[in-house]
Structure 1
Amino acid sequence: MVCASLLGLRAAAAAPRLLRAGSSRCCRRWSSETCAPQPSPVRIGCASGFWGDTAASVPQLLYGGKLDFLVFDYLSEITMSLLATAKARAPDLGYIPDFVLTAVAPYIKDIQRKGIRIVSNAGGMNPHSCATALKKVAEKAGVDLKIAVVTGDDLMGELSNIKKALPKGEDGKRFPENICSMNAYLGARPISRALDLGADIVVTGRCVDSSLVLGPLIHSFGWNKDEFNLLASGSLAGHLIECGAQCTGGIFTDWHTVQGWHNIGFPIVECSSDGSFTVSKPPNTGGLLSFGTVAEQLVYEIGNPKEYLLPDVICDFSQVTLTEIPGIEGGAVKVQGAKGLRPSSFYKVNVTYFDGFRATGCCPVGGPKAIEKGRRAAESILKRTRVMFDQLGYEDYSAINLQMLGSEETYGPHAKQNIDGGPREAVIWLAVLHKRKEAVEIFSREIAPAGTGMAPGFTGIVGGRPKVSPVLKPFFFLYPKKNVKINIFMNGQHVETFEEDLSFTSDIAVSHDQLEIQEELKDLPNGPHTYRLEDLAYTRSGDKGNSANIGVIARHPLYYPYLKKTLTAQTIEDYFQHLLEKEQSGKSLVTRYVLINVLIRISTFLWCSLKKLFGIL
């Protein structure tokens, strides 16, 4: 067993005791008898962490996972806006076609034969069309399935009323114009109700990712609305596996210890009725299940770990314990200790809106002084297009992101010094935003001429002329649950209007960050040695909107006080100053939580998914 300290998380002190076959424990309500056998554990596998995840996950979980439920998580804030755009083009689009054609269709007979039930948010902006497509697949295969649809998250029909009643969002910003989509993050209860009604497949629109797992657990164990610790445990199970292979060795700090990336195992949780669960993966798959891989995913994108707000429960993960279980092929980790509080009477709502147009040029540059040549060429392209804008009466770019990949510009002032003129190959990454589509089209046309009219060494434009695309941005606000109408359909027929029970909710609408009590850490032993953060800790970073979340987990309890003393909010803000958006002078952009989760606000206009890179910077 590995015992390590998480900044605020604790590794369990002993391996769990396993019940022997035939043993029983007192049951709470599954039987009217005083002491009845505990319900069998429920096994749930997650085959997708985003739209575009590998198709290799389904067969390994289907044939090697011994599952009761198989869940698929596809949606992000921007994915919803893309699906809304697709639906606007054609009324039968707006869902995730990969779910129907790649994930389910090839295996639908075996899914039915094994009795595995499916839950997915693949419905996106059009869950009814997703269900219709699934029904056609089932009919073609000669399979009879009950396909449920949960609706109610799409609030676009209430747009005008909401804008009048709510002029500002949760961050104080005014409600935007040019709305593309507006969806409430629904909870797990409608999913569990659809399963109660006999659904073999449940298709939803937007819901919190963890509800895809919590819903089946509520259905299986009958957890009540006020059993907040159990609901928090089920939510944690969902949180750990909702991103697929991210908890089985994907993007792990110690990536070099993870074998078999080509066949990385996707996660399975085996949950007991008391809320405890183990995380594992199918046998004979790659990847790694360990304290570190699970701990990294636990601190991923949760903000305040003592007050993680979800529709069904407010979670406190500060006392969670993780215990490696020896002797299981591929590894397994037991998870316990999540606590819960009554949830808010509000749903969080995500709005996506159009905010101009963008294009990104990506050009490799070779030869001596490649970085200097590339930067000068990029600056010349911008200067040339700005002259054209002036001639046409266009305003300047809304935003520009110029980076020379290979120069360590991502590290800002912390970059290692280049020698002998720097590397002999680099890549120009030049992205622009503008309110006018025509202006971005000018930029797109002016990339290629650099290959003949500027410095030598340009080897082409990756992907050809940069594509002009609309800029989609997120906006969040809170909306009363009582105003959201949730309906459940079965095989195309309306069967029930789901009534949210608000008697177990709180009127507190938002999380209030607790001030951290500063402890004196003056007398720590010190010496002449220096270490990289990755030598002392695991890290995991992610993003929500324009905020980045960095989780830091000590590799050993002795390292914890040094990390706590060193990784202050001010230290983090100073280190990432070159990447931060300073909206208000004097306002801190970093919030630190212990168990240390660092939440920082950064530019939304950075190359690639840079926010997922912060933990290793």
Structure 2
Amino acid sequence: MLFISVVSLAGHLIECGAQVTGGIFTDWHKVPDWDNIGFPVVECSGDGSFVLSKPPKTGGLVSFGTVAEQLVYEIGDPRRYLLPDVTCDFSQVALKEVPGVDGGAVRVTGARGVAPSHDYKVCATYMDGFRATAVCPVGGPRAADKARRTAESIITRSKRLFKQLGFEDFNSVNIQVLGSEDTYGSNAHTKGSREAVLWMSVHHKQKKALELFAREVAPAGTGMAPGLTGIVGGRPRVSPVLKPFFFLQPKSELKVDVHMDAELMESFSETGPDASDQEATPPSAEDFQDRDLPSGPHSYRLEELAYTRSGDKGDSANIGVVARHPLFFPYLKKHLTSSKVQEYFSHLIEPGAKNAVTRYTLPGIHSLNFVLQSSLGGGGVASLRSDPQGKAYGQMLLDLKLKGLPDLKSLVD
């Protein structure tokens, strides 16, 4: 299982190409030559370790931070990362920078694993009506207010026509004014922007209803807000919605038949205890104990203490938070709780979501992983939001202030 776990971890790190060599890195301003960024190279050793680097004379950066961010990308419980051939445990993975390598290199150790689960991971989709999105730049004083009123007027106008023509109402409507920090909810800072972009996305069971909506966007250019400069991409396109859903299916309940030339050659079925009950690594006492840490008068933005990376799994998002220094990790565990993250993103999480935010720890890289259930408005193509995959959630969390801390900077000086 060690070899499969190591290969699986290597694949997990490099599957998104340049994301592990400095792409979308928290400290993006320290990454050189985006125009020539190098793709990752992995060199595996017989002892279960491997070195991750990139080709010489290419742009980008390989460092503890870039690799750690990719390690926590789009995972749930780091002790039970379910794959077809193995159940991986990434919680004790350690990263060490290799000195003297052009562009940087990191040695990765500590991947573990147990037998694969006796469940299949099933991803399926079904047709769920249609969607259309209008994107319109708006300029001038009170741009956000003008954009919002424009959207509300278009929706009101469309609903009136729906009623006259016998269509049902919209299933859902999402209006965001990009530039006014609508996505941040009560955490927004910007006020009174003179440039904004209207994002208006709608969902309906009938395609013809949305074709009518798409036609009703154009009149805004002559009969609504001053400073509306156009419709990005022209009239909104109506497209089908494929809604995803996921579940675990016991392998023992299915039979696999192998046919060649229309002849049944072999059948397979699986029985026996569920290997998923095995625990790759028992939770350590440190994961749960309340550390008696000193407090103080200092406040820090999370960006000062950690890197972040976020991604999606269907309608759920994950945010990995990696301490910039091992000495910061105990304070992150104490102050950055699941309830605090849930409060920060409460406006984006579906009301009533069960176990809305779960926190996991990865002590090997001094990291926390938060999984936000029902937080993407359906996720992927089923979502009407401007960020349907939670790509910006980690960046949004960087502005969260942690209060009542001692002078942490003095710990590492």
TM-score tier after normalising by the smaller chain length: 0.7 to 0.9
1:571 & 1:273 partners in 2: Cα distance?
Answer: 43
Tell me by how many angstroms 1:507 deviates: 5.1
Q: 2:296 aligned to 511, 515, 526, which one?
A: 526
Compared with structure 1, are the counterparts of its residues 554 and 583 closer, same or farther at alpha carbon in structure 2 (3 Å cutoff)?
Answer: same
Distance apart, 1:608 and its partner CA: 3.6
For 1:499 and 1:520, the matched residues in 2 are separated by: 52
Aligned to 1:274: 47
Deviation at 1:520, TM superposition (A): 2.0
8 Å CA contact retained: 1:346, 1:509 = no
Instruction: Indicate how the Cα distance of structure 1 residues 407 and 233 shifts in structure 2: closer, same or farther if over 3 A, else same.
Output: same
**Structure 1 CA distance, aligned partners of 2:293 and 2:45?**
44
TM-superposed CA distance for 1:503, in Å, is 8.3
1:344 Cα deviation from its structure 2 partner: 1.2
> SS of 1:573's equivalent?
helix
CA contact (8 A) 1:342 1:504 kept: no
Aligned residue for 1:472?
242
- How far, CA to CA, are the matches of 1:540 and 1:590 in structure 2? 16
Equivalent AA in structure 2 for residue 469 of structure 1:
S
Aligned pair in 2 of structure 1 residues 509, 428: CA closer, same or farther (>3 Å)?
Answer: farther
Partner of 2:209: 439
CA drift of 1:497 comes to: 7.5
1:393 Cα deviation after fit:
2.5
Q: Following the alignment from structure 1 to structure 2, what is the Cα–Cα distance between the partners of residues 348 and 510?
A: 17
Worse overlay, 511-520 or 575-584: 511-520
Instruction: Give 1:488 shift.
Output: 11
User: 2: CA distance between counterparts of 1:265 and 1:526?
Assistant: 43
**What 5-or-longer segments of structure 2 have no aligned partner?**
363-367, 397-413
Mapping 1:223-238, distance limit 5 Å? 228-238=1-11
Per the alignment, do residues 499 and 336 of structure 1 end up closer, same or farther by CA in structure 2, a change over 3 Å counting? farther
Q: 1:590 aligns with which of 352, 357, 380?
A: 357
Shift of 1:359: 0.5
Q: C-alpha displacement at 1:609, in angstroms?
A: 4.3
For residues 113 and 247 of structure 2, the distance between their equivalents in structure 1, rounded to whole angstroms, comes to: 23
1:417 shift after superposition: 4.5
User: Kindly tell me: are residues 558 and 469 of structure 1, through their superposed partners in 2, closer, same or farther at Cα, counting changes over 3 Å?
Assistant: same
CA-CA distance at 1:594 after TM superposition:
1.3
Find the counterpart in structure 1 of residue 333 from structure 2: 564
Deviations for 1:558-584, whole angstroms, at most 9, x for unmatched residues?
Answer: 211221112111111110011111245
Q: Which residue of structure 1 lines up, in the alignment, with residue 393 of structure 2? A: 614
Q: Name the % identity.
A: 58
Change (3 A) 1:250 1:556: same
* Residues 1:538 and 2:307 are matched in the alignment: yes
Matched residue, 1:21 = none
Give the counterpart letter for 1:241 in structure 2: I
Q: Closer, same or farther in 2 for the Cα pair 1:436/1:593, shift >3 Å?
A: same
In the alignment, is the contact (CA less than 8 A) between 1:345 and 1:509 conserved in 2?
no
Q: Distance in 2 between matches of 1:486 and 1:320?
A: 38
Structure 1 residues 523 and 267: alpha-carbon distance in aligned structure 2, compared to 1, 3 A threshold: closer
Kindly state the Cα deviation for residue 537 of structure 1 after the two structures are TM-superposed.
0.3
Matched, 1:251 2:24: yes
Number of residue pairs the alignment of both structures matches: 380
CA distance in 2, matches of 1:561, 1:431: 42
Distance 2:24 2:327 in 1: 25
- Counterpart CA distance in 2 for 1:400 and 1:510 is 44
Q: Using structure 2 for the length normalisation, give the TM-score.
A: 0.86
What does the per-residue CA deviation read over 1:290-312, in whole Å, with 9 as the maximum and x for residues that have no partner? 00000000011110001111111
Gapped runs of 5+ residues in structure 1?
1-227
Say if 1:344 and 1:505, in contact at 8 Å, map to a contact too. Answer: no
How far apart in 2 are the matches of 1:450 and 1:241?
46
Q: Post-superposition shift, 1:501?
A: 9.3
Q: Which residue of 2 aligns with 1:301?
A: 74
Partner SS state of residue 579, structure 1: coil
| Paired AA for residue 83 in structure 2 | L
Partner in structure 2 of residue 452 of structure 1: 222
How much has 1:481 moved relative to structure 2? 4.1
Structure 1 residues 515 and 324: CA distance shift in structure 2, 3 A: closer
Amino acid at match of 2:200: L
Tell me the amino acid that sits aligned with residue 370 of structure 2. Answer: V
In the alignment, what sits opposite 1:574? 343
Aligned partner of residue 578 in structure 1, secondary structure: coil
Aligned pair partner of 1:430 in 182, 200, 213:
200
Q: 1:463 to 1:417 in 2, by over 3 A?
A: closer
Residue pair 1:291, 1:323 contacting (<8 A) in 2 also = yes
Aligned to 2:94: 321
Cα distance in structure 2, aligned partners of 1:370 and 1:425: 6
1:287 aligns with 2:51: no
SS at match of 1:457: coil
Partners in 1 of 2:278 and 2:388 — Cα distance?
27
Q: Select which of 129, 135, 160 maps to 1:362.
A: 135
Q: 1:599 aligned to 2:378?
A: no
Measure the CA separation in 2 of the matches of 1:521 and 1:368.
51
Structure 1 504/355 Cα, relative in aligned 2: closer, same or farther at 3 Å?
same
The answer (yes or no) to whether the contact 1:386–1:396 under 8 Å persists in 2 is yes
Structure 2: how far apart are the matches of 1:408 and 1:485? 51
Alignment map for 1:89-104 (pairs within 5 Å): none
For residues 498 and 423 of structure 1, the distance between their equivalents in structure 2, rounded to whole angstroms, comes to 66
Q: CA RMSD in A?
A: 2.7
Q: Aligned partners of 1:265 and 1:501: how far apart in 2?
A: 44
Indicate how the Cα distance of structure 1 residues 534 and 258 shifts in structure 2: closer, same or farther if over 3 A, else same: same
Matches within 5 A, 1:54-203: none
Partners of 2:293 and 2:331 within 8 A in 1:
no
CA-CA distance at 1:439 after TM superposition: 1.2
Structure-2 residue corresponding to 1:372: 145
- Alignment check: 8 A CA contact 1:230 1:340 kept: no
Deviation of the 1:610 alpha carbon? 5.0
Change in CA separation of 1:554 and 1:498 when aligned onto 2, cut-off 3 Å? farther
2:113 corresponds in structure 1 to 340
